[in-house]
Amino acid sequence: MSKCHSCLKDTNDSFCTSCRKKLFGGANVNHVLQFTRPEFNEIRFEHSNRLSISGIRVKYSLKLEQKELKLNEEGGQYIIKPVSYGPFRNMESIPANEHLTMAEQVFKINTPPNALMTFGNDEPTYIVKRFDVLNDGRKLLQEDFAQLANKTEENAEGNYKYDLSYEEVAELMKNYIAAYPIEIEKYFSLILFNLSGREW
Ligand SMILES: [Zn+2]
């Protein structure tokens, strides 16, 4: 008996039936990826037009082909986020930490399906299913709150995407979401959840 690599319940496979369905549409995907971390690095550097050394988290797109997850420059249904390299402690635990933080069943928050996988060379990595890509690869259009507030590069300054207060975001939700009373409660829970993880 081992643990499901998504929900951590006991199972005989890499994933329990329910998570296999949610993550991979039922395909019997193994939690060990068919490529190693050095192979991942090579592909990422080949396809990345700018060398990103400043970003804390490295990410790349993954696509499901039959029952195998393959690195894919764009249009993948998943994002893979391995351990980053940098001058920080406990870097190797970041994928597990993100997986736990995104554990729907523990914190009762609404999260996209995600899992803790392993590279072919045993290194851990986190993967998450994209909520803006449908199973057939079609992309859903998204708007962020800066767009809803009509803030653009032209009419707003510097960090305009992140300048709205929690209260201003709530006001926008009131204007644009019909099921506002339900959604505002979820929004408030998320704010509390995020604040509770901080060190003061
Ligand atoms: Zn599961």
Is pLDDT at 16 greater than 80 in this prediction? yes
Residue 199 banded pLDDT, cuts 50, 70, 90: low
pLDDT for 1 = 84
pLDDT tens digit string along 30-40?
999 999 999 99
Is pLDDT at 14 greater than 70 in this prediction? yes
pLDDT for 23 = 95
The residues that bridge with 62 in the sheet, in sequence order, are: 71, 78
User: What is the mean predicted confidence (pLDDT) over 71-75?
Assistant: 81
pLDDT tens digit string along 186-198?
999 889 888 886 5
131 DSSP 8-state letter: T
Question: Residues, the chain, total?
Answer: 200
CA angle (37, 40, 41) in 5-degree steps: 90
If we measure between CA atoms, which residue out of 99, 80, 111 comes closest to residue 6? 99
Q: Which structure tokens are listed for 70?
A: 């393959």
For residue 179, how far is its CA from the centre of ligand 1 (angstroms)? 30
Residue 5 banded pLDDT, cuts 50, 70, 90: very high
For residue 191, how far is its CA from the centre of ligand 1 (angstroms)? 26
For residue 96, how far is its CA from the centre of ligand 1 (angstroms)? 15
pLDDT tens digit string along 26-66?
999 999 999 999 999 998 888 765 544 445 578 889 999 99
pLDDT for 200 = 47
For residue 85, how far is its CA from the centre of ligand 1 (angstroms)? 29
For residue 17, how far is its CA from the centre of ligand 1 (angstroms)? 7
Q: What is the mean pLDDT of the chain?
A: 88
pLDDT tens digit string along 90-143?
989 999 999 998 887 777 788 999 999 999 999 999 999 999 988 777 889 988
Cβ contacts of 16 within 8 Å, gap of 6 or more = 4, 6, 7, 9
For residue 111, how far is its CA from the centre of ligand 1 (angstroms)? 14
CA-CA distance, 101 to 10, in Å (whole number)? 20
pLDDT for 137 = 77
